[in-house]
Amino acid sequence: MLSKIVGQKYVSIARTWVPTMTLWGGVGGIALVHFTDWRLILDYVPYINGKFKKDN
């Protein structure tokens, strides 16, 4: 269906770029967690959430 709108050539080019873009998206996500407040983001991950309890 998408190939009828865009064209077969561009669909095949996009298919070859999907693994690369997935990898760079993962790297970007990890960089976002690293350079921002990692605790704010990782509080939503169930396994990691219990490791950093606040002593209030």
| pLDDT tens, residue by residue, 7-54 | 888 888 989 999 999 999 999 988 988 888 777 777 777 776 666 666
Of all helices (H) and strands (E), which one includes residue 1?
none
Q: For residue 48, what pLDDT is reported?
A: 67
Q: CA 22 to CA 48: how far, in whole Å?
A: 24
Q: For residue 4, what pLDDT is reported?
A: 77
Q: For residue 16, what pLDDT is reported?
A: 94
Amino acid type, 40: L
Q: Are 28 and 36 in contact (CB under 8 A)?
A: no
The domains of the chain are located at 2-49
The model's pTM is 0.57
Supply 9's token pair.
């050539």
